[in-house]
Amino acid sequence: MKELRVRTLAGVFAVAAVLSWATARLWNSVGTLPGVPLAAPIVLALIAAVLLATAVSLRARLKAQRDRVPGAKGVDPLMAARAVVFGQASALVAALVAGLYGGVAVFLLEYLDIPARRDQAVYAGASTVAGIGVIAAAIFLERVCRLPEDDEHPPGAASAV
């Protein structure tokens, strides 16, 4: 499984932000910009919390397993792989969603004097921050589940098996 690259996530975020900013400008000139749901930052924060709780739990279980603590519950490799895939998928979607809400938030900065638009800007900004939290939790989860390096075979060296 390939490791998730921060550069890829930043690219997805940036492209989504620019496209949503431009779409928001166009949509506002034609009609009324749709609102940002209040549930968006809440759902993203919940996903970040689930990812973080999974990472902390797996880290504690892996540490107990490495330290050979008596009665330590091991980590099923398939479960760890599923957690990493969930984290990677969540990070990619969160980068897209955070970029979309980030572009809308930047657009709405021009209209902070209008109370309804100010509320929408706050919701969009909170959604962007929560999306970045999902990305951070997913990267942490991926780092927790990374296999330790093999000291006998340095990276790039051919193994004689």
With contact defined as beta carbons under 8 Å apart, do 88 and 81 qualify?
no
> Nearest-CA neighbor of 114 among 38, 35, 26, 41?
35
Collapsed DSSP state (helix, strand, coil) of residue 116: helix
pTM, rounded to two decimals: 0.86
Task: Give the Cα separation of 6 and 104 in Å (integer).
Answer: 22
The whole-number pLDDT of residue 124 equals 96
The whole-number pLDDT of residue 157 equals 52
Exposure string of 49-63, with b = 16+ CB inside 10 Å and e = fewer, is ebbbebbeebbebbe
- Average pLDDT per consecutive 10 residues, the chain (161 residues; last block may be shorter): 89 97 91 87 96 94 86 85 94 97 95 91 96 97 80 51 42
